[in-house]
Chain A
Amino acid sequence: MALVKLREARRRLPVVESLPPGRGRRVLPPPRGAVQRPALAVWEFTRACDQRCQACGPRAGTARPDELTTDEALRLVDELAELGVGEVALIGGEAYLRADVLWVIRRIRERGMSCSLTTGGLGLTQTRADALVEAGLQLVSVSIDGLEASHDTLRGTPGGWRRCFEALAHSRKAGARIAANTQINRLTWRELLPLGELLADAGAEVWQMFLTMPHGNAADHPELLLQPFELLELFPMLDRVIARCAARKLRFWPGNNLGYFGPLEGKLRRLQQEDGHYKGCSAGRTGLGIEADGTIKSCPSVGGAVNAGGNWRDHGLRALWERAPEIRYVEQRGLDSLWGYCRECYYADTCMGGCTAMSEPLLGRPGNNPYCHHRALEMDRMGLRERVEQVAGADDQAFAHGLFRVVREPKAAGAGPVTIEGPRCGREVAFFGPGTPLGEL
């Protein structure tokens, strides 16, 4: 059934000699006082998926109720172009499970935007890859989490890892540029070097990696998370990974929750950021997220009402981007929204507590983030270390999260905790500010 639909969608796609190159993610600074335009829109095209991954944020599998129709999607593309978006990254679920994605890709390109796809790769056959690239898709990034055993365990699909490399080959043969993205967690973190060699052999140009975040399905698997003190082992390893990537001409690309401000920061971000360092959460600043039902949010990796500006169907895109408080949050918050260690950190007003998608699902609200290399180094300098313990589980909603507490303890084994930093009330209770502790859980 799906194959017939793909064939029909492909047949109805006009043949063109060429398409505009696409603006990519480079943006002009906004006029003073104006809202920065989003360079990147990350669009969950459908939540339907052919896998059930242990760390999936949206808990993908079945489509959301009332996902955008083809016509609505095409109109949203037009609004993205009018807003000034440079690139649309299609994600899911699996975007290729909807054959009308071909028409959406074509419209994205016709409107002068670049178009990329992040995929689990399981069903990215040569036919599909050819159709996607023919429509105008320029880049395919396949999610590959470690070596074969780890990946197949995390993704729950025997043989899936091999299919990922087939997906890379299919995409490359179809004419797309290829990349990979990898989650760093307890299963994968010691497999990065050999995985990098395989990706370079496969012709991947860029390799993005990021820490597994405790939301969605991953909230049900807290055992996957690295502990904050383990960043002290991870980052020297990343130093070797970066060197090896350079030797293999594989561009290392750190995700926004990987950092911050340790001695490796410059090497980590030299190809990504001017001045070579993290500049704070980008949610609602240079990018936005779109859910399959038209919900517009500040970032593709967050969820829930506190991060959703509203629905495109009700308000249109520009109004939400420019005025929805949930999307403007990162831009408008101040230092008083930091709490715990982050409030007093040397890097407080540049870092602002790091990635919202990492800290909010952990401690209930952003502004305090133990997953920080600088923080781990400072703890170590003081003879301490931090680890997280889950104190509440998550419900079954997309991007749902539980709650954790941060235990600060001496490095020496056997000694009791020095402090325990519990979670705080969410932003649905106190939108700005440091929030208040939730007490015993």
Chain B
Amino acid sequence: MKPCSGCARHLRIAESVCPFCGTHLAEGTAPGGWGWAVGLALLGAACGTDKGDSESGDATTEVTGSTSSTTEGTTLTSAPTSSGTIGGTGTSSGSEGGETSTTECVSCSSSSEGGAFIYAAPDMGVQLDCDPWVQDCPDGQKCAPVGDDGTLTAIACVPAANPGAAVGEACTVQDQPHSGLDDCAKGLVCFEVDAGTLTGMCAALCTGSPDAPVCAEGTTCKEVIGDLVSLCL
């Protein structure tokens, strides 16, 4: 489903007009969501194939038009329905303030499809020790994503190389591709790290905020891990 640009209600992807507010909708695939580990995989390795239907867990069904139901003699008119296929697969994740990026990886985990079981503790997800959007770590450190075995585990303060490699320059990561320990300058991360050589290229983290990202001219803010980690690419 995709959110209506007018009223933010979720709509079937095939809708061209919002049945709730009448907004005419732009064509194209749903902006989709993002997955924690899916995005992190982009930091370490290339992924290439589309998400399959099974990842969403939703069966793809045809919906026939139905405009009213009757309960005990009273006709209720529900919002207009339209025939279409529900459960279309989103193929990209999107930042509200920037262009979408593709988060597709057959080897990556899906997001928390189960939502929140009541009575269970909430899903803690990633530990957030700092804000990569504002780089609020102490002097000598930078806020960076840290992972373990391909899964993002934290956004944490890590040592920042000084002066450190600049955007577009080669970089090296310590220990494993997602350690967060690289020789890029503050505000940068080592991107597209080769798992064998532990080398990659420095890319800038977006600044500003998820709703109003800021990047250098010639680059665009792209979500890599939801609105936690976005890079100027």
Asked if A pairs with B, the answer is yes
The residues of A with any CB-CB pair to B shorter than 8 Å are 21, 24-30, 32, 36, 39-40, 42, 57, 89, 91, 116-118, 138-141, 177, 179, 181, 205-208, 210, 213, 249, 251, 253-257, 261-266, 269-280, 282, 285-287, 299-301, 340-341, 343-350, 355, 357, 374, 378, 382, 408, 418-421
B125 CB-CB contact with A under 8 Å: yes
Given contacts A273-B115, A275-B33, contact A287 B57 (CB under 8 A): no
Determine if B74 and A350 form an interchain contact, defined as CB atoms under 8 angstroms apart: no
Determine if B124 and A139 form an interchain contact, defined as CB atoms under 8 angstroms apart: yes
Interface string of B19-38 (1 = CB under 8 A from A): 10000000000101111110
Determine if B118 and A274 form an interchain contact, defined as CB atoms under 8 angstroms apart: no
Distance in angstroms from A118 CB to nearest chain B CB is 5
Task: Beyond the given A26-B110, A118-B119, A340-B71, please list 4 additional residue pairs across the A-B interface where CB-CB is below 8 A.
Answer: A42-B119, A256-B115, A349-B86, A418-B74
Determine if A210 and B30 form an interchain contact, defined as CB atoms under 8 angstroms apart: no
Range, interface on chain B: 35 or more
Residues of B within 8 A of A420 (CB): 72
B109's nearest neighbour on chain A, judged by CB, is A26
Residues of A within 8 A of B81 (CB): 346
Residues of A within 8 A of B113 (CB): 27, 39, 273-274, 279, 282, 285-286
Can you give 16 A-B contacts (C-beta < 8 A)?
A: A25-B123, A26-B112, A42-B120, A116-B121, A116-B124, A141-B122, A179-B121, A206-B124, A206-B125, A213-B118, A251-B128, A261-B10, A269-B115, A271-B125, A274-B111, A419-B71
Distance in angstroms from B62 CB to nearest chain A CB is 9
Q: Once the chains are docked, how many angstroms separate the CA of A206 from the CA of B125?
A: 9
Q: Once the chains are docked, how many angstroms separate the CA of A251 from the CA of B79?
A: 33
Q: Once the chains are docked, how many angstroms separate the CA of A432 from the CA of B139?
A: 62
B49 CB-CB contact with A under 8 Å: no
Determine if A210 and B116 form an interchain contact, defined as CB atoms under 8 angstroms apart: yes
B128's nearest neighbour on chain A, judged by CB, is A249
Given contacts A26-B151, A39-B114, contact A300 B109 (CB under 8 A): no
Which one of B86, B120, B127, B128 has the greatest number of beta carbons of chain A within 10 Å?
B120
B77 CB-CB contact with A under 8 Å: yes
B63 CB-CB contact with A under 8 Å: yes
Determine if A28 and B110 form an interchain contact, defined as CB atoms under 8 angstroms apart: yes
Determine if B56 and A279 form an interchain contact, defined as CB atoms under 8 angstroms apart: yes
B54 CB-CB contact with A under 8 Å: yes
Q: What 10 A-B pairs are tightest by C-beta distance, nearest first?
A: A286-B114, A274-B33, A344-B69, A141-B121, A26-B109, A208-B122, A116-B121, A253-B122, A89-B120, A282-B114
B62's nearest neighbour on chain A, judged by CB, is A349
A274's nearest neighbour on chain B, judged by CB, is B33
B3 CB-CB contact with A under 8 Å: yes
Given contacts A261-B10, A345-B78, contact A118 B120 (CB under 8 A): yes
Determine if A274 and B35 form an interchain contact, defined as CB atoms under 8 angstroms apart: yes
The residues of B with any CB-CB pair to A shorter than 8 Å are 1, 3, 7-10, 19, 30, 32-37, 52, 54-59, 61, 63, 66, 68-69, 71-74, 76-79, 81, 86-87, 90, 109-125, 127-128, 131, 148, 151, 153, 226
Residues of B within 8 A of A24 (CB): 123-125, 151
Residues of A within 8 A of B87 (CB): 350
A42's nearest neighbour on chain B, judged by CB, is B120
Residues of A within 8 A of B8 (CB): 263-266
A261's nearest neighbour on chain B, judged by CB, is B10
Distance in angstroms from A134 CB to nearest chain B CB is 19
Determine if B122 and A179 form an interchain contact, defined as CB atoms under 8 angstroms apart: yes
Residues of A within 8 A of B73 (CB): 419
Determine if B109 and A287 form an interchain contact, defined as CB atoms under 8 angstroms apart: no
Q: Once the chains are docked, how many angstroms separate the CA of A210 from the CA of B120?
A: 11
Q: Once the chains are docked, how many angstroms separate the CA of A253 from the CA of B122?
A: 7
Residues of B within 8 A of A382 (CB): 76-77
B8's nearest neighbour on chain A, judged by CB, is A263
Determine if A36 and B123 form an interchain contact, defined as CB atoms under 8 angstroms apart: no
Residues of A within 8 A of B90 (CB): 274-275
Q: Once the chains are docked, how many angstroms separate the CA of A261 from the CA of B18?
A: 13
Given contacts A25-B114, A28-B110, A274-B110, contact A177 B124 (CB under 8 A): yes
Residues of A within 8 A of B77 (CB): 382
Residues of A within 8 A of B86 (CB): 349-350
Distance in angstroms from B205 CB to nearest chain A CB is 17
Determine if A344 and B68 form an interchain contact, defined as CB atoms under 8 angstroms apart: yes
Distance in angstroms from A282 CB to nearest chain B CB is 4
Distance in angstroms from A286 CB to nearest chain B CB is 3
Determine if B52 and A29 form an interchain contact, defined as CB atoms under 8 angstroms apart: yes
Q: Once the chains are docked, how many angstroms separate the CA of A227 from the CA of B72?
A: 22
A206's nearest neighbour on chain B, judged by CB, is B122
Residues of A within 8 A of B125 (CB): 24, 206, 251, 271
Determine if A275 and B114 form an interchain contact, defined as CB atoms under 8 angstroms apart: no
Q: Once the chains are docked, how many angstroms separate the CA of A27 from the CA of B111?
A: 7
Given contacts A39-B114, A116-B120, A275-B90, contact A28 B69 (CB under 8 A): no
Determine if B117 and A279 form an interchain contact, defined as CB atoms under 8 angstroms apart: no
Determine if A301 and B61 form an interchain contact, defined as CB atoms under 8 angstroms apart: no
Determine if A343 and B69 form an interchain contact, defined as CB atoms under 8 angstroms apart: yes
Given contacts A275-B33, A382-B76, contact A257 B109 (CB under 8 A): no
Determine if A299 and B33 form an interchain contact, defined as CB atoms under 8 angstroms apart: no
Given contacts A249-B128, A257-B118, contact A265 B9 (CB under 8 A): yes
Distance in angstroms from A121 CB to nearest chain B CB is 12
Q: Once the chains are docked, how many angstroms separate the CA of A250 from the CA of B69?
A: 42
Residues of A within 8 A of B79 (CB): 346, 378
Residues of B within 8 A of A345 (CB): 78
Determine if A275 and B30 form an interchain contact, defined as CB atoms under 8 angstroms apart: yes
Out of B59, B114, B131, name the residue touching A285 (CB < 8 Å). B114
